[in-house]
Amino acid sequence: MRLAGAVLAICFTAGSALAQPAPGPSPAGQFAKTTAATPAVSADLTREDVGAWFDGFLPYALERADIAGTVVVVVKDGNVLFKKGYGYADVATKRPVDPDLTLFRPGSVSKLFTWTAVMQLVEQRQIDLDADVNTYLDFKIPPFDGKPITMRELMTHTPGFENALEEVIAVKPTHPQLGDFLKSWMPPRIFPAGEVPAYSNYGAALAGYIVQRISGQPFPDYIAQHIFAPLGMKHSTFLQPPPAALARLLSRGYLSAADAPAPFEMLAAAPAGGLSAPASDMAKFMIAHLQNGEYDGHRILQAATARQMHNSPYTTISPAFNRMTLGFFQLNRNGQRIIGHDGDTRFFHSSMALFLDHDVGLFISLNSAGRASDTFDLREKLFDDFTDRYFPGPTPAGKVPLAMAKAHAAMMAGQYDGSRREDTTFVSFVNLLSQTAIHADDSGRLVAPMTGLNGEPKTFEEIAPFLWRQVGGKELLAAKVADGKVVMWGEGNDPSGAYTPVSGYRNAAWLLPALELSFLALLLATIAWPVAAVMRRRYSAPLAQEISRARRWMHVAVAAEVLVMMGWLALIVGMMSTFYWTWAPYFVSSAMEKWVLVLHLLSIVVLPLATLIALWNVWATVSAPAGVMAKVWSVVLAASCLIVLWVGVVFHFIGLGLSF
């Protein structure tokens, strides 16, 4: 059971955007200082040096991770410094990756085009960043805690939407149109707007729909006319699938190079991740932003608008590490101002970084998830090493008194949920399997569940009040505290998300082991039922009539409960597998709603009834002349049924909601 939980947790959290720690101001400057990072001297960022460096880094990395192909481009001072493809765009035909022509799917990097389109309409005074977005819609987003959503909150991933899976991705061209998708599958809001960062594909798609409504053009057409055309991005498109002339240039997508190629991924939330583009086109987009909206004499943004987009950090946890700007992630490292975005589909994994003070941009995209989802570590390692090689600089350092460190570490210790989660549907069960535990060691350091390339948990030491830095590294953690309690914390690698404390009634530290033992007891009882019946008949050892009747019904109820829970587990595993197994692409489609309804109805009947029958069995067994072990076992089964019922209520197996 714990293994299944780990697998689900990995599948569920994969695809989260990554960023890098920022050296920004400390919340308590009297404790913080900076020390020189190594290397102290940068390598020269020349075509020859960067080419040799990538040639040394990428071929081995691709082979080790079993990735079919990748493309990388570096721009500097308004020109392409280096671009190259490695590996294959199509393994079967040995078609090589061409940085000028091979179309990759950059996933959520697509959002930067959506946010750029929004800012075009902002500078035209057609969108107000701080107005209720309902002003621009033909349907209504309900308020939460009396607060509406603004475009600024959409751009900083703070609208408070619950995460959602339904109809997000498919491989058939029958996926819903953008407006229909947004109206039919609106996720509930679980946080007040502007308070908790929680990455939202729905929010980005909503912004794209607003662009579509205000401009009067379909979203792909608007981007083509107002961004692709002025930048000369002739091989890029948001159309899904791309037109025939571009479709033949697409890279195939793979789980690993050894696997069969996957079908083209269709995203209903197209503005959140539907772009197809070659690296050379992405280079033009990077240059335009590095030059404050201008490329080759053509403007996509006024300089003031571009600077506003790049330099408006939005603080939700701490100003001391990376935050969201208007659509861009801060990726600051080594004292350098860096912004960008990562992007992931099931098969393509990409990253863009803009070094604002050096007029340098880096884009990489991989067409495979890798043998063990290695693309996430590979991408992070490449960014870190590139930055440390060419842009070394100071890194935050400091020390707090030992007593303070121990007290703050003790406050942080506990179980947390990621903010990008489902809370109101049965998929919230994944939260139980994927809670994050923070521990405090005897020296006042934090031990986090995130692991480095060596597979070991990362340890953090406090360098300023409620600001921690990775021991032996540069990653930061920070916490927001209110009334003497940690209300959320975040990691510098992900300014679009946070972790919030888990209430005791759903804390995995006790509930997950209790559920595992309960399910095991119920499963054993189900398996033992026919065996015990045969043994009693063989040895002529019938039960007392009252015990026999209660025991018989208990076995029926327990078997039914096991089947219902296995049904839920199969459904949830199937939904998570959609993102990693190419043979199961439709588990997150609305076609699954009928099975969701069946399981809800069965849960409403079976889980409470099984608990009542198990309690009746306890009474019948204790009241009759039964052995001690029989009495204890009846109590164990009743407790197991109560735990399963508790989980069913808390995680919405008992309910009638069909959306997920």
**pLDDT for position 548:** 73
Strand order in the sheet with 79-90: 95-96, 79-90, 69-76, 360-366, 349-355, 338-344, 329-330
Q: pLDDT tier at 1 (50, 70, 90 boundaries)?
A: very low
**pLDDT for position 593:** 83
CB 272 within 8 A of CB 114: yes
- Name the one residue in this structure whose structure tokens are 């998570």: 576
| β-bridge mates for residue 341, sequence order | 352
Average of per-residue pLDDT across 461-468: 95
pLDDT, mean over the chain: 87
The residue among 510 and 588 whose pLDDT is bigger is: 510
Structure tokens of 410?
């003790």
The yes-or-no verdict on residue 517 having pLDDT over 90 is yes
- Name the one residue in this structure whose structure tokens are 């409504």: 213
**pLDDT for position 529:** 66
| β-bridge mates for residue 150, sequence order | 132
Three-state DSSP at 570 gives: helix
Nearest CA among 240, 247, 206, 177 for reference residue 117: 206
The contacts of residue 313 (CB under 8 Å, 6+ apart) are 319, 323, 324, 325, 330
Q: How far is 179 from 186, CA to CA, in rounded Å? A: 11
Three-state DSSP at 647 gives: helix
Structure tokens of 125?
């005074």
Among 208-212, 243-247, 432-436, 576-580, the least confident range: 576-580
**pLDDT for position 416:** 95
**pLDDT for position 303:** 97
Q: How far is 508 from 501, CA to CA, in rounded Å? A: 12
Q: pLDDT tier at 372 (50, 70, 90 boundaries)?
A: low
The residue among 578 and 152 whose pLDDT is bigger is: 152
**pLDDT for position 31:** 33
Q: Where are the domains of the chain?
A: 2-288+295-395, 506-650
**pLDDT for position 22:** 31
User: Which one-letter amino acid corresponds to residue 483?
Assistant: D
The yes-or-no verdict on residue 434 having pLDDT over 60 is yes
* DSSP one-letter code for 503: P
Among 197-206, 419-428, 636-645, the least confident range: 419-428
The yes-or-no verdict on residue 203 having pLDDT over 80 is yes
- Name the one residue in this structure whose structure tokens are 């995680």: 651
Q: What is the pLDDT of residues 204-235, one digit of tens each?
A: 999 999 999 999 999 999 999 999 999 999 99
Which runs of consecutive H residues, i.e. helices, occur in 299-425? 303-310, 375-390, 402-412
Beta-strand ranges (E) seen in 441-505 are 446-451, 457-464, 467-470, 476-482, 485-491, 499-501
| β-bridge mates for residue 378, sequence order | none
The contacts of residue 469 (CB under 8 Å, 6+ apart) are 21, 395, 396, 397, 460, 461, 463, 475, 476, 477
**pLDDT for position 373:** 61
The contacts of residue 401 (CB under 8 Å, 6+ apart) are none
Q: pLDDT tier at 650 (50, 70, 90 boundaries)?
A: very high
The CATH architecture assigned to 2-288+295-395 reads: 3-Layer(aba) Sandwich (3.40)
The yes-or-no verdict on residue 30 having pLDDT over 50 is no
Q: pLDDT tier at 38 (50, 70, 90 boundaries)?
A: very low
The yes-or-no verdict on residue 364 having pLDDT over 60 is yes
Query: Using alpha carbons only, how large is the chain's radius of gyration in Å?
Result: 27
Q: pLDDT tier at 542 (50, 70, 90 boundaries)?
A: low
| pTM (whole model) above 0.75 | yes
* DSSP one-letter code for 454: T
Q: What is the pLDDT of residues 85-131, one digit of tens each?
A: 999 999 999 999 999 999 999 999 999 999 999 999 999 999 999 99
Structure tokens of 404?
């303070």
The residue among 138 and 630 whose pLDDT is bigger is: 138
Q: pLDDT tier at 415 (50, 70, 90 boundaries)?
A: very high
User: Which one-letter amino acid corresponds to residue 259?
Assistant: D
The residue among 48 and 574 whose pLDDT is bigger is: 48
Structure tokens of 566?
């296995």
Q: What is the pLDDT of residues 321-348, one digit of tens each?
A: 899 999 999 999 999 999 999 999 888 9
Task: Tell me the Ramachandran region of residue 442: left when phi exceeds 0, alpha when psi lies from -120 to 50, beta otherwise.
Answer: alpha
What sign does the dihedral 569-165-246-239 (CA atoms) show? Answer: positive
SS3 for 50-63 is HHHHHHHHHHHHHH
Structure tokens of 18?
């990554």
**pLDDT for position 377:** 82
The yes-or-no verdict on residue 34 having pLDDT over 70 is no
**pLDDT for position 229:** 98
